[in-house]
Amino acid sequence: MFPGSSPSRKALIIAAGCVAITLLVFVGVRRGAQAPRDIAFSELLSLVDAGHVRAIAMSPDSMRVDLRDGSVARSVAPPGYAAANPTFLTELARRHITFRVEQSSADTLYYYAGLLAGAAFLGLVGFTLYRVTAGRLPSLEVSGRMATRDTAVVTFADVAGVDEAKDEVREIVEFLREPERYGSIGGRIPKGVLLVGPPGTGKTLLARSIAGEAGVPFVFASGSDFVEMYAGVGASRVRKLFKDARRHKSCIVFIDELDAVGRSRGSSSLSHEEREQTLNQLLVEMDGFAPNLGIVVLAATNRQDILDPALLRPGRFDRQVIVGNPDLKGREAILGVHAKKVCLTPDVDLRSIARGTPGFSGADLANLINEGALLAARHGRRQVSNDDLEAARDKVLMGVERRSLVMSEDERINCAYHEAGHAVVAAMLPGADPLHKVTIIPRGRALGVTMQLPETDRHTHTRDYLEAKIAILMGGRVAEEIFMRHMTSGAGNDIERATEIARRMVCEFGMSALGPIAFRRASTTFGSDDQGAGFSEATARRVDDEVRELVMRGYEVARQLLEQHPVPSARWRRSCCCTNRWTRTTSRR
């Protein structure tokens, strides 16, 4: 009937149509009635004497006269006529003429018109509120959902790479299953467990696995479910959530993204009072006068630094479980879990993929496996090969290949020498990570990429390793100067990264002649009181000198290595450029 219209708009159109039809019918009926003719009061008296009048209806402003022939007339009596002639009514009764007194029809019409206008106004206000709230009027009921073994398909077997965190939450499940085993030695169940870690490390997945393993009711909600623009709604939802949890002998309550409701109070003059009331109610429910025996509150957040200190004290969140990025062994286990869902060829080496993904979270690794499967399907293959996973890793790390980017021959040659400079320095330095891949196919913002594959995860870095990293970054610029006899802007990011490493070595790591002293940088935060650099101008000059010395030392190391191991000789480069036979000459060598 109304194509492309929403249900609320259809209802509004139907209601407006009904009101319009009713008004038209009312006006038509009023106009269809026979209009009375005006007569003088003396003529009315003559008609009464002649016996032509059947009924008279008197209102405050006029008299309606119904004649015996079926016609209707209207007249106006002189002021005070009825009081001055009391026999007038007696005469009407003697002649069997019906006489009645009525209210003004205009007053009745105005009454119903005002009533109709008021109803229309209330309907308009209600529709406006419906549109403002998008059809979701505030409910005092909490939006917590109940998870059971049947609905939670994730178990501890599906969680990998966070063995310590899994052991911590497994203890909670066992405590709820067998409370007497722990209570016999005086132990009490933790009231709250806070899962803390970067995004994508598996905090929510770990909570879902608890729902799959626990033999007790598991109620879960999001922190944003308690935040409302209406006063008192959030606090009421918190009360309702814990009231439902107390109905069970043992229960787990999980709140995802706790920082949405648990942000520190009083941190800003623009603090939302409704959110603070909700937080206060949560604090009282977790550790107040109401008994919470058998209720464990789990929460997940990646912003522990902004949580209110009252939430983190013992008695509320007694235990904080760190869910960090997995190490090499954990990444391999996570890849194995997600690889079960796709068809892999026998040549797939998950350990090699895990080695090449340092710093990846569980979500990143799941995305890598999915990208590999999509890449294999795009090329019409039924199984995911090791090359597909390698290409997916390069796509996640460095961006999509830009094969359509048009580069001149000189730019290609320059890019090749630049990446070769990185590769030679990385291969010659003993403290550097092993070289894995070199390409001049543009990816993301880079025209070429030199990739190193660490053998193991590095949690600390030695000075030799950092200096080698600076030298590798300088290798591209040095190769351009030696073999191309010019400088390009392609080394801009390399220089920025090398300078940042050198500055951290001097200011944070104490790896310079200035000694083991931390030099605080000037704060750039707007409104911060700490605007000073924390040291004098003379010390700042010495810091700059040390940073320059570290960068230039790496520059000289790269120059010496490239001069000892040319890639290739300058004579060969000139031959290639002069004959314009880059592909053929490269294949010969």
pLDDT tens per residue across span 176-202: 777 777 767 776 777 888 999 888 888
DSSP letter assigned to residue 100: E
CATH number for position 359: 1.10.8.60
Percent of the chain residues topping a pLDDT of 70: 76
Residue 543 pLDDT:
92
Residue 150 pLDDT:
54
Question: pLDDT grade, residue 49 (50/70/90)?
Answer: confident
Is residue 419 flagged as an active site residue?
Answer: yes
Same-domain check for residues 300 and 427? no
* Residue finishing a domain among 343, 377, 398: 398
Same-domain check for residues 417 and 526? yes
Q: Per the domain annotation, does 136 fall within a domain?
A: no
Same-domain check for residues 312 and 426? no
Considering 3-7, 51-55, 179-183, 491-495, the range whose residues carry the highest mean pLDDT is: 491-495
Q: Per the domain annotation, does 23 fall within a domain?
A: yes
CATH number for position 253: 3.40.50.300
Residue bearing tokens 């004098």 = 536
Q: Per the domain annotation, does 170 fall within a domain?
A: yes
Q: Per the domain annotation, does 151 fall within a domain?
A: yes
Asked if residues 42 and 26 have their Cβ atoms less than 8 Å apart, the reply is no
Strands (E), 4-148: 37-38, 53-58, 63-67, 72-75, 98-101, 145-147
CATH number for position 462: 1.20.58.760
Same-domain check for residues 342 and 483? no
* Residue finishing a domain among 342, 368, 398: 398
Asked if residues 419 and 449 have their Cβ atoms less than 8 Å apart, the reply is yes
Token pair, residue 309, equals 């200190």
Q: What strand order describes the sheet that includes 53-58? A: 37-38, 72-75, 63-67, 53-58, 98-101
Lowest mean pLDDT: which of 126-140, 155-169, 246-260, 453-467? 126-140
Same-domain check for residues 374 and 420? no
Strands (E), 240-294: 251-256
Distance CA 359, CA 444 (A): 19
Same-domain check for residues 426 and 566? yes
Same-domain check for residues 440 and 332? no
Residue 230 pLDDT:
58
CATH number for position 40: 3.30.720.210
Token pair, residue 522, equals 């000037």
Same-domain check for residues 563 and 578? yes
Question: pLDDT grade, residue 148 (50/70/90)?
Answer: low
Q: Per the domain annotation, does 550 fall within a domain?
A: yes
Distance CA 370, CA 364 (A): 10
Bridge partner residues of 339 (DSSP): none
Same-domain check for residues 317 and 336? no
CB count, 10 Å around CB of 353? 23
Same-domain check for residues 302 and 366? no
The mean pLDDT of the chain is: 77
Distance CA 550, CA 164 (A): 40
Distance CA 74, CA 95 (A): 20
Name the residue range of residue 476's domain.
409-588
Residue 270 pLDDT:
45
- CA 10 from chain centre, in angstroms, equals 32
In tens, the pLDDT along 216-267 reads 788 888 777 777 655 667 778 888 888 888 888 778 888 888 888 888 876 5
Token pair, residue 369, equals 């496996």
Distance CA 532, CA 547 (A): 20
Q: Per the domain annotation, does 129 fall within a domain?
A: no
The catalytic residue among 228, 332, 390, 419 is 419
137 has a pLDDT exceeding 60: no
Same-domain check for residues 575 and 440? yes
Question: pLDDT grade, residue 109 (50/70/90)?
Answer: low
Same-domain check for residues 557 and 449? yes
Number of compact structural domains in the chain: 4
